[in-house]
Amino acid sequence: MITQKIIEDTIFNLFKEAVIKLPDDVKKALQDAYNNEDNDIAHLNLKAILDNIEAAEKMRVPMCQDTGLPIVFVKLGKVDVENLYEGIRNGVERATKEVPLRPNVVDPITRKNTGTNTGNMMPQIDIELIDEEKIEFTVFPKGIGSENNNALKMALPGEGIEGIKKFVVDTVITAGGKPCPPIIVGVGVGGSSDLAMKIAKKALLGKIGERNPDKTIAELEEDILSQINKTGIGPMGLGGKTTALDVKILTADTHTAGLPIGVCIQCWAGRRANAVLKP
């Protein structure tokens, strides 16, 4: 039995790790961008980002004042679990108090803050059923500055690959410096409107530099990334070579008459943390 307390402790520790320490692949991508940059202002901005990352780790404090919305991806296998929802919720509330996380969750109408980062449908939990004897958690504290620049298009099938490219690049150009570039761009293609946005967000959980196993999709990722970085938006929107660290694409089969395209933008702080529990 995986107890509620074990789940609470796991979620607490994952959020603590995620907001303080960036994954190695994200840090390497930012360092590579710094090393390859010849624009003085971009160089300065990337240096500030790298210094900030180092300070957060040394001081054991969150790297950004926006510790995001609490989003938890769960892969649930053939295991006995006690009070999964309560364990996750308690872990988020504890992390809010002890890390601390900034209390960001509010009622959308009254704007009243719950003070705990929990509330109506919060934390946001995505459950995927798997045929293994384990449960896997990935926490994804999603800052709203980048989230506000997400976009969805219900394209027509005739728009094809060129239509996908254009919509993603246009979305990034419209966002400009608002999502704190260099960004990571998640793209979901197919499914329904909500599924396209969901898999666009899930695409952001992949490691930077790892390509989609489908050759056609991998080439599309590289092509869009190249086009985005040719815009010259650059770090913090002030010019430079690196506007995006990577483009990640996931697809789902869809209706014969549709081509949903979801774009989910992540700021340079590509925070995520993962843990697997087994009986």
**Cβ atoms of residues 113 and 101 within 8 Å:** no
Mean pLDDT by 10 residues, the chain (279 residues): 97 98 98 96 97 98 97 98 98 98 98 98 98 98 97 98 98 98 98 98 98 98 98 97 98 98 98 97
What distance in Å separates the CA atoms of residue 212 and residue 127, rounded to the nearest whole number?
Answer: 22
Tokens of 181: 């570039």
* Neighbouring-strand partners of residue 124: 71
Q: What distances in angstroms separate CA 206 from CA 18, 116, 270, one per listed residue?
A: 15, 28, 10
For the stretch 12-39, pLDDT in tens is 999 999 999 999 999 999 999 999 999 9
For the stretch 212-249, pLDDT in tens is 999 999 999 999 999 999 999 999 999 999 999 999 99
Closest by CA position to 137, among listed 38, 29, 13, 270: 13
pLDDT for 81 equals 97
